[in-house]
């Protein structure tokens, strides 16, 4: 069976009634299963996860985008997470027998449809049309506030849609990627400088782990700070290794880990190494879990 997962990130995490109206576009879409959605007021961002037959997923995503562009006005948006548009990023993840190449075709079709509606689109990761646009962070650098200047810079014209800045909706980034795990570690301090130093210790661009993107930010409503991460290849950099590094770095500052957050969904395989490490079941396999066999 050919299936495709989609995990759009929208720039609204505080007005939950608005989020519900946007997510309803997926609930009402035929042939698509809504798996999860969550909102964070400090990030001012929501993450939605759903899957289905690829063309159905494209149609559901177009419906979600239309609703989000109508509901979200980026001219008044503020939050802790980097963003450049109302529907900030739209990754497709091929599942089952769907190939990456086929998923890229669907991603490009979605981007062209969004662009035809008046919102500039960039393609990233496996859907990138230029090598310098594979990395989402490179595309998003400057964020919404710097988008007009970025779009006017030679070499940074959008891949689809208008080349003029859209103040209300910003731009959307569409791509195809390996399953990403959004994983946060909360720290028992209000000193955001500590979170930023620890994020620098684990993130790849500062000499940390190759497959980790991280930033430190304040969770003002919780009176603590967070190391917020995207783990882009859990096979190469397992979860427990990063958590233990953060624990060690936090200990140098006399700061405890108060908890971790998994945002959205993650493959069961990603937790094999974590179980082996913490429970010391060195030959553990996910096929030893009963539900694995029930899922087939």
**Cα distances (Å, whole numbers) of residue 26 to 17, 18, 34:** 15, 14, 7
CATH number reported for the structural domain that contains residue 133 in this entry:
3.30.990.10
Which residues, other chains included, contact 281 with Cβ-Cβ below 8 Å and sequence gap of 6+? 275
Q: CA-to-CA distance for 279 and 275, rounded, in angstroms?
A: 5
Does residue 26 sit in the same domain as residue 164? yes
CB atoms closer than 10 angstroms to residue 119: 23
pLDDT under 50 in the chain at which residues? Answer: none
Q: CA-to-CA distance for 106 and 3, rounded, in angstroms?
A: 12
Do 172 and 160 contact (CB within 8 A), yes or no?
Answer: no
Q: CA-to-CA distance for 258 and 188, rounded, in angstroms?
A: 6
Three-state SS for 260?
strand
Domain boundary among 176, 202, 217: 176
Does residue 36 sit in the same domain as residue 158? yes
Does residue 22 sit in the same domain as residue 155? yes
Does residue 205 sit in the same domain as residue 228? yes
pLDDT score, position 46: 97
Burial of 17 (0-12, 13-18, 19+ CB in 10 A): exposed
75-109 core/surface letters (b: 16 or more CB in 10 A; e: else): eebebbbbbbbbbbbbbbbbeeebeeebbbebbbb
Does residue 195 sit in the same domain as residue 135? no
Q: pLDDT tens, 141-167?
A: 999 999 999 999 999 999 999 999 999
Which residues, other chains included, contact 16 with Cβ-Cβ below 8 Å and sequence gap of 6+? 39
Does residue 154 sit in the same domain as residue 96? yes
Does residue 193 sit in the same domain as residue 138? no
Domain boundary among 176, 205, 222: 176
Q: Which residues pair with 122 in a beta bridge?
A: 173
Instruction: Write down the pTM of the prediction.
Output: 0.85
- Total domains present in the chain: 2
Q: Which residues pair with 89 in a beta bridge?
A: 9, 173
Q: pLDDT tens, 254-273?
A: 999 999 999 988 988 899 99
Whether residue 43 lies in the annotated active site: no
Domain span including residue 254: 181-295
Do 77 and 84 contact (CB within 8 A), yes or no?
Answer: no
Query: Per 3-state DSSP, what percentage of the chain is helix, strand, and coil (rounded to 5)?
Result: 40, 25, 35
Active-site hit among 81, 204, 253, 277: 81
Does residue 11 sit in the same domain as residue 136? yes
Instruction: Give the phi and the psi of residue 152 in degrees, each rounded to 5.
Output: -85, -5
Does residue 160 sit in the same domain as residue 279? no
Does residue 52 sit in the same domain as residue 187? no
CATH number reported for the structural domain that contains residue 229 in this entry:
3.30.70.670
Q: Which residues pair with 48 in a beta bridge?
A: 37
Domain boundary among 160, 176, 192: 176
Does residue 27 sit in the same domain as residue 158? yes
Does residue 171 sit in the same domain as residue 187? no
**Cα distances (Å, whole numbers) of residue 50 to 45, 60, 75, 113:** 17, 9, 28, 20
């Amino acid at each position: 069976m050919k299936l495709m997962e989609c995990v759009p990130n929208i720039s609204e995490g505080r007005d939950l009634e608005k989020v519900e109206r946007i997510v309803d576009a997926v609930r009402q879409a035929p042939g698509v299963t809504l798996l999860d959605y969550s909102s964070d007021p400090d990030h001012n961002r929501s993450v939605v996860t759903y899957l289905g037959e690829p063309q159905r997923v494209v149609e559901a995503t177009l419906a979600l985008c239309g609703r989000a562009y109508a509901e979200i006005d980026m001219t008044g948006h503020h939050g802790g997470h980097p963003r450049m548009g109302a529907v900030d990023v739209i990754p497709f993840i091929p599942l089952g027998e769907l190939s990456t190449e086929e998923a890229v075709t669907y991603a490009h079709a979605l981007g062209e449809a969004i662009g035809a509606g008046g919102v500039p689109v960039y393609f990233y990761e496996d859907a990138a049309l230029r090598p310098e646009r594979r990395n989402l962070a490179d595309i998003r650098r400057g964020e919404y506030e710097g988008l007009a200047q970025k779009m006017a810079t030679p070499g940074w014209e959008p891949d689809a849609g208008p080349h003029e800045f859209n103040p209300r909706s910003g731009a959307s980034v569409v791509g195809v990627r390996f399953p990403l795990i959004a994983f946060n570690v909360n720290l028992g301090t209000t000193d955001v400088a500590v979170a930023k130093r620890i994020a620098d210790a684990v993130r790849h661009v500062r000499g940390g782990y190759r497959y980790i993107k991280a930033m430190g930010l304040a969770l003002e409503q919780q009176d603590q700070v967070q190391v917020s991460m995207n783990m882009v290849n859990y096979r190469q950099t397992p979860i427990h290794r990063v958590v233990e590094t953060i624990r060690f770095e936090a200990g140098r500052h006399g700061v405890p880990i108060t908890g971790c957050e998994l945002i959205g969904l993650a493959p069961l395989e990603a937790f094999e190494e974590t179980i082996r490490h913490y429970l010391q079941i060195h030959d553990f396999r996910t096929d030893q879990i009963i539900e694995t066999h029930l899922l087939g």
